[in-house]
Amino acid sequence: MKLRSILLGASAFALLSLGAGAAKADGELFFYNWSNYFPPELFDKFEKETGIKVTLDVYDSNETMLAKLQAGASGYDIVVASDYMVDVMIKEKLATEFDAKSLENFKNVAKPHDTMKYDPDRKYSVTYLWGTTGFTYDSDVAKEKLDDSWKEFFEPRPEFQGKIGALNDEVEMYAAAAYYAGVDKCTEDPKEAQKILDILQKQKPYVAVYSSEGTIDRMAAKEVAMHMQWNGASHRTKESLPSAVFVYPREGLSFWSDHFIIPKGSPHFENAKTFINWMMQPENAAAASNYAGYMNAIKGSDAYLDESLKTDPAVNMPEKYADRLVPGKNCSEKARDLRNRVWTKLKS
């Protein structure tokens, strides 16, 4: 998923126009995305080259985005959905078919991103960026190098107690606790869900904040000494806090990908297709990676990537960690209900 370092306005639903002032007025595009997950200057470039003015609205989780669409919001032309949410949107008929493979620049999409589990023929989606969810800690605070285990996050050492930043994300936190507990993150067994809740409740006194936004700034300002983070956020944290270390827990960590989708009721369907096709150009995809700190799915983009991305293990994962990655999974309704009850109890 996924950087959350800037709060855009007093309301999550306030629209922020990022188009250039000298618009050609050839059209509009309404874009619904995670906060701080797309370079503003790329909106300007897109408008200059196409005449299409982009207006951005932001959310803090897939579930927030889904709830708004389920409630009838129909003014968006593109939304960014994580892998499991693509499945949900297709099944609930909230995604519009546009046949991504018919777009001119789809030829630039690298394998395995030319297909995906929930949209094998790429009729509804195109990969934007992909990454992992682990945790970052300040090595200057640690008395010794931490173990590569979720135990360091859920059962923190004394120097990190009360200085933990957790994501305010039901799916990510539940999954991480499930990996640590050694149970399926989509379990339907109440006893296994209780194990997950026990881990989360035991950790709670040591958590300073549950927030998916501002993770980079929070770490950089040393408001917390450890934070659950998406790997791109960890990369950007390291730019301001060189002592930041990203951990690939051996119990497993989520491997995710985010995708462009044209939602049901898009008022500017052709403009949405134009934007998606434009984002499959290597230079544009690389600009998104350089800004957000995550890898893209476009062949040839590496020629435009910042060297810091290529050399940071948080982004360019060492091969030895490959077997630790756990792909996204759309859990059953029963499992989702169980997860939600655990999360609600934790936050009450």
Neighbouring residues of 235: CB distance < 8 A, sequence distance ≥ 6:
246, 293, 308, 309, 312, 314, 315
Helices (H) and strands (E) in the chain, counts: 12, 12
Contact between residue 11 and residue 42 where contact means Cβ atoms under 8 Å apart: no
169 belongs to an annotated ligand binding site: yes
Backbone angles phi and psi of 81, in degrees to 5 = -120, 140
Q: What's the one-letter identity of residue 36?
A: N
CA 120 → CA 188, 237, 324, distances in Å?
27, 35, 24
Within its chain, how far is the Cα of 110 from the centroid?
20
Neighbours of 8 (CB within 10 A): 16
- For 59, the token pair is 């959310």
3-state secondary structure of 250: coil
3-state secondary structure of 264: coil
DSSP string, 160-188: GTT-EEE-S-HHHHHHHHHHHHTS-TT--
**β-strands 253-261, 226-230 pairing:** unpaired
179 belongs to an annotated ligand binding site: no
84 belongs to an annotated ligand binding site: yes
170 belongs to an annotated ligand binding site: yes
Binding-site residue ranges? 84, 169-172
Q: Which residues are annotated as a binding site for spermidine?
A: 84, 169-172
